[in-house]
Homo-oligomer: A and B are copies of this chain.
């Protein structure tokens, strides 16, 4: 099967979903990634550029190369970056498993919401490693749909989320990859692997997250696979609808919603101690 299949599709609504997600989560996920002026940064798997904008703004002096396998996504990302007036990013179409750069081209590699869509994330990480200079770093950010829990609890809602996990698995992805970043990076030959979980905790005292994350990001993403779930008979229509209603129910004043992203950093070689 082609490795650029993407469980969420490439529709306009999906573009908006990614844009909302980036807005609500920027601080939580990105604020501690700042690359020095002049450093060469590879963003592997930039999609439509939702994370590229944040990356480029947080490291305005870095020289960023962003690649994606989809020419359509690259066109979208270029338009977005141009519209934002950002000038430190160059785009190119490329396959994360076989990029055309000379060894040691980059000081830093950045991979965000990409591994979940790959059939072999370990191979991608191994293939990326030679592009780093000695002592260079890789940063990886991924979600984990299995980290989802909420109040009031609801079995149909968990089953609906499970359908999304299964559909992503069917096309060769892994929606539970967040929890695996430590062993994946270690196995791919990186050292000094450090993983930091970033939980999005949402209750009604945080209305921007209720709207921007629970509703417009997470529940919209689950709703996006409704037709496929019903077509394949993974859930009965009524149970599915109860599950979706239960996810919206967590947005009421007494509701709570939790989801965890994982952010990992690692080095090509261990940090040198002393001269």
Docked-complex contact B182 and A256, CB < 8 angstroms = yes
Residues from chain B with a CB closer than 8 A to the CB of A199 are 197, 199, 260
Residues facing B in A166-196 (CB within 8 A) are 176, 179-180, 182-183, 186-187, 193-196
Chain B CB within 10 Å, residue with most, of A151, A186, A193, A255: A151
Residues facing B in A216-256 (CB within 8 A) are 253-256
Q: Report how far A147 CA is from B259 CA in the complex, Å.
A: 10
Task: State the oligomeric state as a number of copies.
Answer: 2
Asked if A201 is at the interface (CB within 8 A of a chain B CB), the reply is yes
Docked-complex contact B205 and A182, CB < 8 angstroms = yes
A203 in contact with B182 given A146-B149, A147-B149 (CB within 8 Å): yes
Residues from chain B with a CB closer than 8 A to the CB of A193 are 205
A155: min CB distance to chain B, Å? 11
Docked-complex contact B151 and A183, CB < 8 angstroms = yes
Residues from chain B with a CB closer than 8 A to the CB of A186 are 253-254
Chain B CB within 10 Å, residue with most, of A153, A195, A258: A258
Asked if A134 is at the interface (CB within 8 A of a chain B CB), the reply is no
Smallest CB gap from A194: residue in B = B205
Asked if A144 is at the interface (CB within 8 A of a chain B CB), the reply is yes
Asked if A110 is at the interface (CB within 8 A of a chain B CB), the reply is no
The interface size of chain A toward B, counting residues with CB under 8 Å, comes to 30
Residues from chain B with a CB closer than 8 A to the CB of A204 are 182
Docked-complex contact A254 and B149, CB < 8 angstroms = no
Docked-complex contact B258 and A179, CB < 8 angstroms = yes
Residues from chain B with a CB closer than 8 A to the CB of A205 are 182, 193-194
A259: min CB distance to chain B, Å? 11
A173: min CB distance to chain B, Å? 15
> What are 25 contact pairs spanning A and B, CB under 8 A?
A146-B149, A146-B153, A147-B258, A149-B179, A150-B179, A151-B176, A151-B179, A151-B183, A179-B256, A182-B203, A182-B204, A182-B205, A182-B254, A183-B203, A183-B254, A186-B253, A186-B254, A193-B205, A194-B205, A195-B203, A195-B256, A196-B201, A197-B201, A199-B260, A258-B260
* Known contacts A186-B254, A187-B254, A195-B256; 9 further A-B pairs (Cβ under 8 A): A146-B149, A150-B179, A151-B176, A179-B258, A180-B256, A194-B205, A195-B201, A196-B201, A199-B260
Nearest first, the 6 closest Cβ-Cβ pairs linking A and B are A183-B254, A182-B203, A197-B201, A151-B179, A197-B199, A179-B256
